[in-house]
A = this chain, B = another copy of it.
Amino acid sequence: MSQAAFLAVDWGTTNLRAWTVDGGGAPLAHREFPLGVSRLKPGEAAAVFRDTVRPALGAEALPALIAGMVGSNLGWKEVPYVDCPADAQALADRILWIAGEQPLVGIVPGLRGQGLGGPDVMRGEETQLIGWLAQDPARLRGRHLICHPGTHAKWVLTDAGRIERFITAMTGELFAVLTEHSVLGGRDGDAEGAGFDLGLAAAGDGSALAARLFTARARVVGGGGLEPAQVRTYLSGLLIGADVAATPRLLDVPAGTPVALVGDGRLCAQYRRAFAHAGVPVEIHSGEAAVLAGLHVLFQIQSRKGGPP
């Protein structure tokens, strides 16, 4: 068995995922904890990491590199954003090494770019993107459009291995607040997902979303062929369909530009269905593999320099 080189951590809003990784970037052990930064008390991150995360992986003696919301003002220590365009080197250079931590703990900075009429931001996805770019040398050449679906979906343009621009769409969060807190409701029970395809059709060009969303109610109470049990999948199709139809245009990419979907498998499959409806070719890539690759690349750049300060 290879020797672990470092402890790789994706510490997000809801969960914390950690891997010991060997010198070649291969994962050795993996643990997941319901210890996202939204669940921590102020100032608790350091102790949680030392007392819970390290021992669970037998990683008391390993340097650690962490990406995600842990670098926000709600996390361990706020790490200033790096501005786009940015590549792996720019991010590695700005890793924040926590003062006084032994073994070393570094936090990857988030990215800030020119979004829709103002700055847009990400924390965590930049590491997945760096990893995805590093997984295939062809991706370090030319321009690519990547979609990272989720609570706050990220639409990203890369060029020559740099992250150039991105736009965030709060598609997943809209789904959550509308199904949990609005008049639309949304029961489960559409096993075949027929409602999803009805929702994709209702998404149209993605304009006038407030009007399109109300169709989820009007078609139920007005006899429009939508069953109450289909409302939830209908809303999912409508919101994802509107995202796919409207957001890439904001990045000025030509219609039909192929898209790399990087992220959670179930979400990526839903987006693939929406892209298929729109006639856009896609490839799906594992978000977990991408974040591991990204942390490995960033850690290696630091090591080549002779290690962190």
A contact set with B: CB distance below 8 Å: 72, 81, 112, 115-121, 152-153, 155, 167-171, 173-174, 177-178, 180-184, 201-202, 204-215, 217-219, 221-226, 239, 242-243, 246-247, 249-250
Q: What is the CB-to-nearest-CB distance from A225 to chain B, in angstroms, rounded to a whole number? A: 7
Contact assessment for A116 and B212 in the assembled complex, using a CB-CB cutoff below 8 Å: yes
Does the CB pair A174–B210 fall under 8 Å?
A: yes
Question: Could you name 27 residue pairs across A and B whose Cβ atoms are closer than 8 Å?
Answer: A112-B222, A112-B223, A115-B218, A116-B212, A117-B202, A117-B215, A118-B215, A118-B219, A118-B222, A119-B218, A120-B214, A152-B183, A153-B210, A167-B211, A168-B218, A169-B210, A169-B211, A170-B182, A170-B214, A171-B210, A173-B183, A177-B178, A177-B182, A208-B246, A210-B243, A210-B247, A211-B243
Give which listed residue, B214, B225, B226, contacts A152 with CB less than 8 A: B214
Given A170-B182, A182-B173, verify A120-B218 contact (CB < 8 Å).
yes
For A121, A182, A201, A222, the residue with the greatest tally of chain B CB atoms inside 10 Å of its CB is A222
Closest 10 CB pairs of A and B: A119-B222, A118-B224, A208-B246, A209-B209, A169-B210, A169-B211, A121-B222, A168-B214, A119-B224, A177-B177
List the B side residues contacting A242 at CB < 8 Å. 208-210
**Contact partners of A204 in chain B: CB under 8 A:** 116-117
Residues of B contacting A208 with CB < 8 Å?
116, 169, 206, 242-243, 246-247, 249-250
Residues of B near A181 (CB, < 8 A) are: 177, 180-181
A sample of 7 more A-B contacts (CB under 8 A), given A152-B214, A170-B210, A211-B243, is: A112-B223, A117-B204, A118-B219, A119-B222, A119-B224, A121-B222, A210-B242
In the bound assembly, the distance between CA atoms of A233 and B171 in angstroms comes to 21
Does B118 contact A225, Cβ atoms closer than 8 Å? yes
Chain B residues in 8 Å Cβ range of A213: 170, 174
Q: Which of A116, A225, A249 has the most CB of B within 10 A?
A: A116
Bound-state CA distance A163–B219 (Å) is 20
